[in-house]
Structure 1
Amino acid sequence: MKVEHVHRIETEFAGRTLVIETGKMAKQAAGSAFLRFGDTAVLAAVTVSPGVSTLPFFPLTVEYREKTYAAGKIPGGFIKREGRPSEKEILACRLIDRSIRPLFPDGFKNEIQVFVTVLSADQENDADVLGLLAASLALSLSNIPWNGPIGGVRVGRVDEHWILNPTFQQLEISELDLTVSGTADSIVMVEGGALELSEDDVLEALKVAHKGIKELLGTLQKVIDKSAVPKMAWTKPDPDPAVTARVREVAEGPIRQAINGQDKATRAASVKAVKTDILGGLAEEFPEATRDVAAELGEIEYLAMREQVLESGERVDGRKLDVVRPISVDVGLLPRTHGSALFTRGQTQSLVAVTLGTADDEQRIDSIDVAGETTKSFMLHYNFPPFSTGEVKMIRGTSRREIGHGTLAERALQPLLPQYEDFPYTLRVVSEILESNGSSSMATVCGGAMALMDAGVPIKSPCAGVAMGLVKDDSRVAVLTDILGSEDHLGDMDFKVAGTADGITSIQMDIKIEGLDLKIMKDALERARKARLHILKEMAKALPAPRPELSPYAPRILSIQIKPDKIGDLIGPKGKTIRGIQDTTGARINVDDSGLVMVSSVGGEGGEQALEMIRSIVTEPEVGKVYEGPVKSTTAFGAFIEILPGVEGLLHISELQHARTERTEDVVKRGDVVKVKLLEVDERGRMKLSRKALLPKG
């Protein structure tokens, strides 16, 4: 019987109130939990299928949904309901999935769904780590076999002070944004970015995070002790020992030999040939156990690779543990893009293109995290077509993996971009993965940095990334540098670290075992630093610094600051003036409320012409300065001259010439263009002009 009593705990964490409540909502789920931190609140519900799945992988799905009502908003557009998940929601799904997946028992194959809903958003506290905590509690309270609970926190650093679960406002000035999940004994998942922090600083952040995780786990355990139900009975399927023994007898030697080779395709073909031969040879002997034979062949491959690494330090492609694959870099390949680079490391290859745009190209974002709409001027998009691994697959839009990898690479490059005020461009970086055999996201970081420099973007310094791996048994540990796809698949860890020569800018760790201690992570970080420095040296051979000039096909952006009360003059009635400038010059003009005017054009001439026209409209008349303009009208007492667009002054008849003038029209007529000097501007803004002051005395 499920316990349906309501249990509620209220405590303090990181200086804010944390409320945990169970037994009140979503009682038909296998487990559920309602958590509130500040005024941000989430509900997590988990369910499990009664039958065992026949899928060849563990069928866990995680959904994370933000409701706009949580922030007192109504969805925009014509359809007034939430649509497909945003990138923020997809990233939160991945965050939770990667944290909880390693803790399910090996062999458990029932379908699991974890559903996290954001019900309230205070626009101070991010709901993603709260959703992770709620999912952990819901799983622990349910009948689903799971080796939790886990805790999750975000870590920031402001003015040398570590902050647990920093607010959105604190993150804006933080040197670090790191999300960490783990058990009481070890760390399970890491994801985040930093402003070139050292490896020691990152390790210290992990220690701070783990301390906070243990505090949270103490609170969760109080609820679990009161409300958890017995776990469901399940049995790990055990193959027939006779089948296992026979497969090992005939397969261990051939597979150990087949897994080794310089080339991915050769290795894969050799392993496939061995497996096919053995499956065919044992089909008559074990006609009802084909699936068990195939599973055991996979297990033999898994153990063979791991034992080879642990025993001899030799990897399947012949490298030692700390060797980076051969690197080649080409820049400027694509003639009409604003910047491009082809980065190849072993059999992983990324073609990266950079496009420079204007403020019109910024991405507009409406989220529950802020009251209004925000914009984004730097985007990195990662594409992983099936041909990159030699496969045929359906194309169903951008995958969660592509979004996650793109965000990881974007986070690595973001801190190195120039300030928007100094380089007011919208930047889009696109990575096309042309070949993949491990660490394509880190190839994107390297290629992205090179393409930005090829485009002439003055980034602070080049950035490189590398993926570290791990093979671990009870007593032996091997940390691998620059892992292959098979080492990722058959190993225990995928630890990606990106940064410059001065420090780390992005980090991500996923594991397949129940946790890692900080000693192993310290070793991995140091090896990653050495590999990163090596990669940066190879990149510098192709292009050591950003190009001094932009591509001739990139827009040129010029700026001018005008007084806010002049914005109306620039725009003109119904936008007539600004449209006229754009039509005449071909430039694009953007004006913000502060009076900052941005002028963009392909090629510099149109922009300079537009800027000059803008100056002529908004420039304040200056006493003592000489102006040239048309005569707009004449009177008995003088002429009115337009010295600036829309700005007229009086050229009195006595200031026309040194000699006496009987009629204004004897000297100037309407339409004449004359040079005049501004003598005076009175308290009413009236301007006194002189032509005489510019003439030699006769």
Structure 2
Amino acid sequence: MSIDAYHQKYGKMLDPKEVSVTLPDGRVITFETGRIAKQARGAAVAKMGDAFVLSTVCYGEEKEGDFFPLTVEYREKAYAAGRLPGGYSKREAGRPSDEETLSARIIDRPIRPMFPENFTREVQVIVQVLSADRKFAPDVLGVSAASLSIGLSELPFEQQVAAVRVAVVDGQNIVMPTYEQMACADLDLVVAGTEDSVCMVEGGAYEVSEDTMINAILAGHEAIKLMCKAQQELVDRCAKPKMELKPQHVGEAHEKLLATVKEVVWDELNKDVHSNMVKTDFYPAMADLCAKMLEDERILAIIGKDEEQDPALVADAKAIFSDYERTAMREMILNEDVRLDGRTTTEVRPIEIELGVLPSAHGSAIFQRGETQGLVVCTLGSKADEQRYESLQGEGSKSYMLHYNFPPYCVGECKRLGMSRREIGHGHLAERSLAAVLPLPEDFPYTIRVVSEIQESNGSSSMASVCGGCLSLMDAGVPIKAPVAGVAMGLISEKGSVKEGGKIKILTDITGTEDHLGDMDFKVTGTAEGITAFQMDIKIRGITPELMREALEQARQGRLHILGKMAELGLAAPRPHVSEKAPTMIKMRIPTNKIRDVIGSGGSVIKGMQSQTGCTINIDDDGNIDIAAPSGKAAAVCRRMIEELTAEPEPGRKYKGKVKTIQPFGAFVEILPGRDGLVHISELADHRVDKVEDVVHVGDEVEVLCLGVDPKGKVKLSMKALLPPKAAPAEAPAAEAPAAEAAPEAPAEA
């Protein structure tokens, strides 16, 4: 078949369809489909500048149960930045980096709610950065590319989604900022949403106000509206026909179950919801009530008994029970202003704090809020302990990191240990929360690692990590600018949508159940002066700026309460000195031409100093040296050794040295490590010296004075100059002068 015939029958193989959006600053974002990855169920490209981000989506068979198996993968290719991957194999690693995992979560969170509730097909979205722009981060383009690829496929998708990054620099909101602008920004956030509402926000800041944050979100949403509109235009032109969804519930049996389940469980369910149970009592009570319901004759008459029991109807009955559980909790909050544990909507759970719980740790704290407990530990290290990483921008290192661990026992479960995406995401949020108050590396030359070990969990464990992390830093003596606390906010709406009106309640310090059954999870961290980090996921539409302001103000009040408790029960400020168990750190600087003298051939000199003193020494290309020592004495010894290695001879200064070699014209004496000077034979003694060996021998330790350094760097030394001056000959008294003149007469008398 000729190429023309092929085109006539199947169309062009490379036939891209595009639509573009112009941002307020004139930059253009282009969405494209139809050129590459055409065998995927949906494929789309988002382009801006030199950035080229591809998203593909494929799906599998329908799965049993109510779980939606959506997987989002995000990868940054090394060739996208004109780089080769590090390591031996020169292939991209199979496992994503932490940064790639965080980007995948940013894509996953806004697109997941756009699928129907009863949709259970396996869906895989793969987003790849194939070309990177050196000026800005490409990750947020992945949200738009993923949304468009799903919209173009047969998959049901409620609304197109887009995301942008917004930075606040000198009070100005900048949409899609450059790396340079992000580096000096007071606020750096990612906002995702649809054409009519915001659905996800996350970012970090340097103690900004609530109004600054909201204005940045609104600025970002204006760009999102344009991007969603452009996506929809391409979807209308190029999308495949959407698949038909099977009805969630069909038949008379479901209608009977709706009425019968309520008849069987509602009274007892409502009683349990009002009983102020703790999590460890409430969940078993719900499980027992559900099991009891499934054994009730009225329910068995619908779902069947024994071998005749219909698994689909059993699952339907359980789902209906869960819906009534959700309804009972929400109605109690909306109508009575009372929550499952008896708190009001603005009340924070009881807080307990213990410091210095681990004797060998540099800093440690237990932070307990309700049934959520974090054991958080701070460790201080040297520059050699910094975390190295590789990204599209190149290689770099981090001197501060926070790691979050969520072992299965903290919720009473048996599971395999391993790092999950959720743990990476929670750790990143807590890390950003504390980064804003840490001292600058030049003022505090330690590598800081904070580890949060969650020991119990019933919601807000990431916020417990922030509070406990702050306390552990202060316990270790890290001079942070101000204490930081965090609180998770929730939302309950009567109609399931703010736009539809009805009662709305904002909840402070939500539990795991309130997170699961509520409409919003909004985590906010900060100091008494402002916000340092935040993360918001909204399950309903129509969150207004006014509602966000109310939630942020309520969060501020909760944060101030927690900060007060941290000061009352823990520490109000860092300890005055770094923990005695932490290494002693010294910073010094040497001339760059002296670096090789300190390192030595094959590292022999620096290794020798480290072995002798027990210190760790790090030198950068600018001559900056970081010394991490086990004690102050060891640090002082190490510093003195480096100073001697790099010192220049000073004219007029005394030195003790060892005779290294002898020549006929003088002796060479080592006055500094690797630096000799000449004591000329005339400078060896205060009398005539015929042979150098008459005064000194090789290996002798002598004291010399530096006379000077000539233009060629040769050092002139003297031993004679340090000798005490010879006494002058005594003069005869003036009265005896005639006798001296008469001396020749002495022989005549004889």
TM-score, scaled relative to structure 2: 0.89
Shift of 1:400: 0.6
Which of 68, 73, 77 is equivalent to 2:78? Answer: 68
1:266 to 268, 274, 281: 281
Separation (CA, whole Å) in 1 of partners of 2:388 and 2:357: 31
| 2:651 equivalent in structure 1 | 623
Give the deviation of 1:657 after TM superposition.
Answer: 4.9
Q: Which runs of 4+ in 1 moved over 6 A?
A: 2-5
Q: CA contact under 8 A between 1:183 and 1:515: conserved in structure 2?
A: no
**Alpha-carbon displacement from aligned partner over 1:215-258 (angstroms, at most 9, x marks no partner):** 22232233223223432221432262111101111211111111
Aligned position for 2:188: 177
Q: Does 1:58 align with 2:68?
A: yes
Which amino acid is 2:358 matched to? L
Structure 1 residue corresponding to 2:301, chosen from 285, 288, 293: 285
Match of 1:484 in 2: 511
For each residue in 1:602-637, what CA deviation from the matched residue of structure 2 results, as whole angstroms up to 9, or x when unmatched? 122222212111111101111222222123344554
The aligned counterpart of 2:733 is none
Q: Secondary structure at the match of 1:294?
A: helix
What is the aligned partner in structure 1 of residue 270 from structure 2? 256
Alpha-carbon separation, structure 1, partners of 2:151 and 2:29? 18
CA offset at residue 92 of structure 1?
1.3
Does residue 553 in structure 1 map to residue 581 in structure 2? yes
Q: Could you list the per-position Cα deviations for residues 294-342 of structure 1 after superposition, in whole angstroms to 9, with x for gaps in the alignment?
A: 1111000011111111111100100000011111111111111121111
Which of 70, 84, 107 aligns to 2:95? It is 84
Q: Is the 8 A contact 2:373 2:457 kept in 1?
A: yes
DSSP-derived class of the 1:128 partner:
coil
Alignment partners' CA distance in 2, 1:152 and 1:466: 25
Q: 1:510 aligns with which of 537, 547, 553?
A: 537
Q: Distance in 2 between matches of 1:659 and 1:117?
A: 85
What RMSD over aligned residues (CA atoms) do the two structures have, in Å? 2.0
How far is the alpha carbon of 1:183 from its aligned partner? 1.5
Indicate the structure (1 or 2) with the bigger Cα radius of gyration: 2
Q: Deviations over 1:422-461 (max 9, x none)?
A: 2222221111100000000010011111111111211121
Is 1:346 the counterpart of 2:357? The answer is: no
Q: Judge conservation of contact 1:601–1:607 (CA < 8 Å) in 2.
A: yes
Corresponding residue number in structure 2 for 1:543: 571
Q: Distance in 2 between matches of 1:246 and 1:11?
A: 53
Tell me the distance in 1 between the aligned counterparts of 2:487 and 2:172. 29
8 A Cα contact 1:38 1:125, kept in partner: no
Deviation, structure 1 residue 155: 0.3
**Deviation for aligned residue 1:154:** 0.2
Indicate which of 533, 553, 558 corresponds to 2:560.
533
Q: 1:453 aligns with which of 454, 459, 474?
A: 474
- Residue 117 to residue 634, structure 1, CA distance change in 2 (3 Å): closer
Aligned to 1:567: 595
Cα distance in structure 1, aligned partners of 2:581 and 2:26: 52
Residues 626-657 of structure 1 deviation map (CA, whole Å, 9 limit, x = unaligned) = 22212334455443322211212223344445
**Residue identity matched to 2:482:** S
1:6 aligns with 2:16: yes
Deviates more, 1:688-697 or 1:229-238: 688-697
Paired with 1:659 and 1:546, the residues of 2 have a C-alpha distance of 66
Of the three residues 146, 150, 159, the one matched with 2:161 is 150
1:225 to 232, 236, 252: 236
Contact 1:468–1:493 (CA<8 Å) still a contact in 2?
A: yes
Gaps of 5+ in 2: 1-9, 305-309, 496-501, 728-750
Give distance in 2, aligned partners of 1:687 and 1:90.
60
Q: Distance in 2 between matches of 1:615 and 1:664?
A: 31
Q: For 1:364-392, what per-residue CA distance to the aligned partner results, in whole angstroms no more than 9, with x for missing partners?
A: 2122x21x321122111111111111112
- Report which stretch shifted further, 223-232 or 468-477: 223-232
Residue matched to 2:291: 276
Q: Per the alignment, do residues 6 and 652 of structure 1 end up closer, same or farther by CA in structure 2, a change over 3 Å counting?
A: closer
1:359 is aligned to 2:373 = no
Q: 2:120 aligns with which of 100, 109, 117?
A: 109
Most deviating of 658-667 and 407-416? 658-667
1:234 and 2:245 are equivalent in the alignment: yes
Name the SS of the counterpart of 1:284 in structure 2.
helix
- Distance between the aligned counterparts of 2:162 and 2:711, measured in 1? 70
CA 1:10–1:485 in 2, change beyond 3 Å: closer, same or farther?
closer
Match in the other structure for 1:688: 716
Contact 2:278 2:341 in 1 (8 A): yes
Q: Say if 1:316 and 1:600 are closer, same or farther in 2 by CA, change over 3 A.
A: same
Secondary structure at 2:378's aligned position in 1? strand
Amino acid at match of 1:93: A
Cα distance in 2 between the residues matched to 1:635 and 1:73: 57
Q: Which residue identity does 2:449 align to in structure 1? A: R
Residue matched to 2:111? 100
Asked whether 1:216 is paired with 2:238, we answer: no
1:182–1:515 contact (8 Å) kept in structure 2: no
User: Counterparts of 2:625 and 2:88 in 1: how far apart (Å)?
Assistant: 32
**1:650–1:44 CA distance, 2 compared to 1 (3 A):** same
C-alpha separation between the residues in 1 aligned to 2:675 and 2:528?
A: 56
Deviation at 1:54, TM superposition (A): 1.4
Tell me if structure 2 keeps the 8 A contact 1:355–1:427: yes
What pairs up with 1:435-446 in 2 under 5 angstroms? 435-446=456-467
CA distance in 2, matches of 1:344, 1:585: 42
The gaps in structure 1 that reach 5 residues or longer are none
Alignment counterpart, residue 188 of structure 1, candidates 179, 196, 199: 199
Q: How does 1:311-326 map to 2 (within 5 A)?
A: 311-326=335-350
Percent identity of paired positions between Structure 1 and Structure 2: 49
How far did residue 283 of structure 1 move?
4.6
Residue 664 of structure 1 deviates from its aligned partner by 4.5
SS of match in other structure, 1:57: coil
When residues 534 and 245 of structure 1 are mapped into structure 2, their CA distance, relative to the original with a 3 A threshold, is same
Q: Name 2:46's counterpart in structure 1.
A: 35
Aligned to 1:333: 357
CA distance in 2, matches of 1:111, 1:628: 79
CA distance in 2, matches of 1:24, 1:637: 84
